[in-house]
Amino acid sequence: MHAQARPSLLVGMARLFAAQARLHCWSALIAGLLGIVSLTAVSIFMVRGAGEGELDPRTLWQSMTFAHQMTALFGLLFALWAPILLAARGVCRITTEQLAARPISLSRILGDMLKFIPAALLYSLVIGLPTMIGSTIFFIPGMAIASLFSLVVPAGTSEPGGVFTTLRRGFSLGGRVFGKLLLVTLTSGALLLLIVALRIVFLDRFLPGSMKALFAIRFAITYVPALLVLILANIAFTLLYGQARAAETPLVRDGPAPLQP
């Protein structure tokens, strides 16, 4: 008998999202709310003492002390990446449970996300920092770096192991489906840039008041549609994790076969 053809990645992603859209959205929104609050707090800290109105980022940075700069830099890193990673964990956990046909509840997903917080903070440095550095050089290097680590969170939801074991495992599996990971990451990154550009062009001009007072509103306008992109991307990453696992040899996937008598 011929094996039944697997649905395409896009079709599988759409089916899984539609089956648990409410749960996916709630888990991502809760992480997104944390991101909005964190980014707003860090942004206000960065402009503390500055005057009202538009601020020149270069002048603002140069006016800070070294300690202020380092606090702002790492605060921004954690505020941006930890909520993204928490949302990714929630999405990957939901998708993993769907694929295994296990019951899912929001309380279990949130509990799993809560336990993931220490790992999310560490991964913010290990994954977020090189991705941000690569992105400042050029868009594609940053996306390539992010693609290399895209299976770390899906691997952590399916396989036992510590933080660094999971990191190595996800990095290793990512090399097996890197082309597909890069395509998903580039598409997601381009959509996120489009969301930010549309906000700047069409909405920022209608937001009156001082810059400080509008931090949370601007972040929320960007975050909400970006969460949908994040959800779909991490469903795709979980499916690609399954493909990478399937591509492994039985010896690697299941361990050494028992000796025959």
User: What does the DSSP assignment read for 164-176?
Assistant: HHHHHHHHHHHGG
Per-residue pLDDT tens over the stretch 89-136: 999 999 999 999 999 999 999 999 999 999 999 999 999 989 888 887
Q: Is 151 helix (H, G, I), strand (E, B) or coil?
A: coil
Per-residue pLDDT tens over the stretch 243-260: 999 988 654 555 444 333
User: Does residue 219 register a pLDDT over 60?
Assistant: yes
Q: Is 75 helix (H, G, I), strand (E, B) or coil?
A: helix
161 CB neighbour count, 10 Å cutoff = 12
Domain boundaries, the chain: 9-49+66-245
Taking the complete model, does pTM exceed 0.75, yes or no? Answer: yes
79 vs 214: which has the higher pLDDT: 79
160 CB neighbour count, 10 Å cutoff = 7
Per DSSP, 87 falls in state: H
